[in-house]
Chain A
Amino acid sequence: MGEAIVITSGKGGVGKTTTSANLGTALALSGKKVCLVDTDIGLRNLDVLMGLENRIIYDLVDVAEERCKLKQALIKDKRFECLYLLPAAQTKDKSSITPEQVKKIVQELKQDYDYVIIDCPAGIEQGFKNAIAGADKSIVVTNPETASMRDADRIIGLLEQEDMEPPKLIVNRLRNHLAKNGDMLDVDEIVSVLSIELLGVVIDDENVIKAANKGEPVALQPDSKASIAYRNIARRILGESVPLLSLEEDKGFFGKIKTLLGMK
């Protein structure tokens, strides 16, 4: 019996879908059986990021309304044997499915998969209620900016009322030089306001955009900063204790020597 983790944020555009795609990929890289579930009915994106758009035949609503079997709707990933996607419907809207239906589907998926990653739509209405219905755990994604933090705070409040473990936090799209100059909220400040456990920090990395447009999750790249961050988060989900990545920029050759000599 696996566990279901919902990825949510409240505000749109902070990187829920990117996080879902990359955590799913990173967990699959560690050899776990993973199923990604896109609950953003009407605005599905997860299939695009995974590069699986053209393989969709049945979707979440079809399964809920029993037009097909659950197994028929699952799409196997191009790269991994153990990674599957249950896509959202594009032609319907959020109200075409109920939390009970989602819960039943997630329960069924948990029998076969180690991790069920649920990508939640923005907002706190029907779509959000659908997405969290079957989840055991939750991850809140936020950007280091006031608006997204306000919404994250609201979402955490709603999640705390649910019968699940306390949510964990991912700070996405951090630009270190801005945070250091005080032009952007820094991670400590965010964690102190939201007061939940920090699962990881992902640097704003242009490789994420490049990879997304190619339909290849960035977590597959060996050495980009975002990729390492996502893989570390996956390891923390698996229960390993991995220290947070150093956010410092490379100091260059002379910088390193100075550090060695204790001058800096």
Chain B
Amino acid sequence: MAMVQKLQHNVTIKGTKDGLVLLLDDKCSFDLLIEELNDKLTAGSSQMLSGPVISVKVKAGNRYLTAEQEEKLTEVLKQKENLILDDFDSNVITKAEAEEMRKDAQVVTVSKVVRSGQVLDIQGDLLLIGDVNPGATVMATGNIYILGSLKGIAHCGTKGNEEAIIAASVMKPSQLRIAHYINRAPDSYPEIGNEMEFAYISNEEKQIRIDRINAVHRLRPKLNSLL
């Protein structure tokens, strides 16, 4: 009897206004978790487990969930058709993942002229001290800042970050790309206007817009690390 009591503490199901949260104990073995989850889903006759469609969040605490384990959990949850798995959440990540996160967050400084035919592909934010000549391409998973003139192609948010921006001292690109949005340049640029500008995806129009650099703090407040 005591055994059964203990088992019940490993998986806790909580209801919130957004759906269910599965709290998994991070001390016991994974097999035990699966077993208990199975029991709870099949044996439990609670209304939450058989009612209308409901989203489920899995919180694993300090346990690292491998891809295989996530798959197994997904399978178990599939038994109940009304449960839709929303997200796995764990406090633990691997070193490799942490390294990726660090790289995505870093600013890479490059000082050179990127010339026709050359491609500069950066993980993180790119700070380019120099020009991007016509026919050249610069890419970054984060933002792109160019201290020089942008006359080639710039592609920011290459992993899909639509919040990313492209800023350039002289903004005369042949093409701008943010995440999967692409904009072609006008066929000619007016001679006037040498103010520093930046490109972003406007929330209302869902397309690339260009604005003066002063507007950046209003449109992308998250860029500011000095809060």
- Residues of A whose CB lies within 8 Å of any CB of B are 150-151, 153-154, 156-158, 160, 193-195
Contact = CB atoms under 8 A, between A and B. Distances in A.
Nearest to A196: B113
Contacts of B136: 153
Given A154-B116, A157-B116, A195 B131 contact: yes
A44 B117 CA distance: 28
B113 A154 contact: no
Nearest to B118: A157
Given A156-B115, A157-B115, A157-B117, A150 B131 contact: no
B19 interface: no
Interface residues of B, number: 11
Nearest to A152: B116
A211 to B, nearest CB: 33
B143 interface: no
7 contacts: A150-B135, A153-B115, A153-B116, A153-B133, A153-B135, A157-B117, A193-B133
B112 to A, nearest CB: 8
Interface string B83-124: 000000000000000000000000000000101111000000
Interface string B112-154: 0101111000000000000101111000000000000001000
Chain A interface SS verdict (over half): helix
Contacts of B133: 153, 193-194
A153 B136 CA distance: 9
Given A154-B117, A156-B115, A157-B117, 14 more contacts: A150-B116, A150-B134, A151-B116, A153-B115, A153-B116, A153-B117, A153-B134, A154-B116, A157-B115, A157-B118, A158-B117, A193-B131, A193-B134, A194-B133
A31 B100 CA distance: 61
A154 B135 contact: yes
Contacts of B151: 193
Contacts of A157: 115-118
Contacts of A156: 115
A13 B133 CA distance: 23
Nearest to B130: A195
A202 to B, nearest CB: 23
A195 B149 CA distance: 12
A194 B113 CA distance: 8
B16 to A, nearest CB: 56
B134 to A, nearest CB: 6
Contacts of B134: 150, 153, 193
B116 A195 contact: no
A157 B116 CA distance: 7
